[in-house]
Amino acid sequence: MSLLDNIHSPADVRALPPEALEELCREIRGYLISAMSVHGGHLASNLGAVELTVALHRVYDTGRDRLVFDVGHQCYTHKLLTGRKDFTDFRDLGGMAGFPRPDESVHDAFVAGHASNSVSVALGMARARTALGEDYDVVAVIGDGALNGGMALEGLSDAGKSGEPLVVVLNDNGMSINESVGGLADMLGRMRTRVEYIRFKKWYRQTIMPHIPGLNRVLARGKKWLKDRIIPENIFDDLGYEYIGPINGHDLRKVENAIRWAKEYRAPVLVHVITKKGKGYPPAEQAPEAFHGVGAFDADSGMPHYTGEDFSSAFGRALTEIAGEDKTVVAITAAMKEGTGLIGFQEAYPDRFFDVGIAEEHACAMAAGMAAQGLKPVFAVYSTFLQRSYDMLIHDVALMGLHVVLAVDRAGIVGRDGVTHQGSFDVAYLSSVPGMKIYAPANFAELKTMLRKAVLEDTGPVAVRYPRGGEGLLLGDTSGKTAETVYFHGDDVTIVSYGTEINEAMAAARMLRGRGIDPEVVKLNVLSPLDTEPVLDSVRRTGALLVAEEACAAGCIGERLLAAAEQAGVALRASRLVNLGDGLLPHGEPWKLREKMGLDNGSLCSAVLEMLDGKDQA
């Protein structure tokens, strides 16, 4: 029996003799590689954090102490060590999540899926502990790439001056998803510390300060003089932290000792560990970006099982072509050049490519500055990450009507990454931005056409939203009109949809035809400003409306269409809005999530039949 088989809780990890820990780490890596080759997930980041996670569980009792992950995509070892070794339903609907979830385990302190919030959350927990007079430890684990996010610096600034006993572990692998960029990354690369200073500092705090308080004031300047000669100044000192590091993050004994020292300080401490993303798996070590978030792959070779084109790559290719025609076109990404398909653009036009790190707010404001001075910036960003830029979209872009183009990737159902990554809200929040135009391509050809219009023809803020994955059966380009009846011309019911969900709507229409129902399908190409007339023309004949969309219920297109019908005096005998609802969409395979939300073709067909049977009265 392996060591991992005998680990059922962190107490079992703490009970292991030190000489067994290296073997445990080897077994964990082997398990992760095997499991991810079947289910997909975030592999490289987890392989790099194995020793660090084991060390944390050797020092802290996460059933009581609070371990806060930043982003959370490096939590798989944590799950293995906290009683969740069965990955057979990993990231499936109803199965174990790929990110920390407090509703899944008491050992998960906080939901995590986006970057840069861990220190703020941890400080809130530490202050709650003090206010309530409770006794537990708080530790935050943040990657170096997340330091680029403004919120990380806000949290670090407040926590460092708070005096709260709090440990921040900086997992420095030189990367976020792609290689870390910016001044903070350069600073981390230069920082070095001697163990001698750490030992002196600990001795000083424990021996001198409690017994000779007055001497502390006398020695303060001398202490700083000594420190300045042993260790160079760094930003964490200035923010008020006791700094420990950098430490080899794969030397478990050293990492464990450093974390124990940090815990004993009873003050804000930052432990700086150096790790290698993809550690222990050669394909991931050689190409960590490719193994950040993976689908199923061959464990021996590292080759993915699916290599077909997706919307991200189609976008990158189209933008590169457009940039060849207009030298004012520039591309911006927030540490996601591979995920958003921009590697080819960077290679072709390195001087017009800007990776700002995990800093979506900065990216949006910078794009506004570029547009104000005559460039045509295209900011490629995931739907859920763009949420962070909402203030900038209104204040920095919309108020001046600037021509900033948003390439909104992962719109709608994303799938197995789950609740923190589902693109449920962009239709609602982008539609609320004054002057925003929103395109919704249904296939690669339409993406190319709409992107070209957005960049070269439109003015003001423009968004092109498209899903994760590939296109469906509808391959024709009908993007010339704002709304287009793309299939059937019926008199019984109007079915409205957009994006790739149109494929499910059309399949449902075929089923209805087989049942003697005569549907009309209206495909929307532009969601804002919304041209309601083609839909109203249809429902004036059919008297029944079903709108299917991968968007949250509040602020969805269906609400606006019903309002337009009411204002126009169009009588509806039945209507139904099928969308992602008012809640948060869980993780799971996309097709299962569509079934769950009633957005698959069979469910849409059934919904129409129920409407026409009189169960939905307008």
DSSP assignment of 267-282: SEEEEEEE--TTTT-H
Distance of alpha carbon 290 from alpha carbon 294, whole angstroms = 7
User: Helix crossing, 502-514 with 601-610: angle to 10°?
Assistant: 50
Which amino acid, one-letter code, is at 267?
Answer: A
3-state secondary structure of 247: strand
Which spans in 413-545 are helix H?
426-431, 444-452, 502-514, 533-542
| Lookup: tokens for 211 | 């017994």
Distance of CA 255 to the CA centre of its chain: 28
Alpha-carbon radius of gyration of the chain: 27
* Annotation marks residue 360 as catalytic: yes
User: CA angle at residue 257 from 254 to 261, to 5 degrees?
Assistant: 135
Q: Active site residue: 91, 277, 437, 576, which one?
A: 277
Q: Active site residue: 66, 201, 388, 594, which one?
A: 388
Q: Are 500 and 467 in contact (CB under 8 A)?
A: yes
* Annotation marks residue 279 as catalytic: no
User: CA angle at residue 238 from 232 to 239, to 5 degrees?
Assistant: 135
Per the DSSP assignment, residues forming a β-bridge with 331 are 353, 378
Of the candidates 147, 137, 212, 129, the one whose C-alpha atom is nearest the C-alpha of residue 183 is 147
Which helix (H) or strand (E) segment is 34 a member of?
Answer: helix 21-39
Of the candidates 13, 15, 5, 86, the one whose C-alpha atom is nearest the C-alpha of residue 50 is 13
Query: What's the sign of the alpha-carbon dihedral 475, 437, 465, 499?
Result: negative
* Annotation marks residue 101 as catalytic: no
Query: Residue 548 — φ and ψ, nearest 5°?
Result: -115, 125
Distance of alpha carbon 550 from alpha carbon 581, whole angstroms = 9
- What are the CA-CA distances from residue 513 to residues 488, 491, 516 (Å)? 9, 12, 5
Are β-strands 462-465 and 483-487 bridged in parallel, bridged antiparallel, or unpaired?
Answer: unpaired
| Lookup: tokens for 490 | 């019926």
Q: Active site residue: 164, 242, 256, 360, which one?
A: 360
Are β-strands 353-355 and 376-382 bridged in parallel, bridged antiparallel, or unpaired?
Answer: unpaired
Distance of alpha carbon 574 from alpha carbon 110, whole angstroms = 43
3-state secondary structure of 547: strand
Q: Are 303 and 279 in contact (CB under 8 A)?
A: no
Catalytic residues: 277, 360, 388
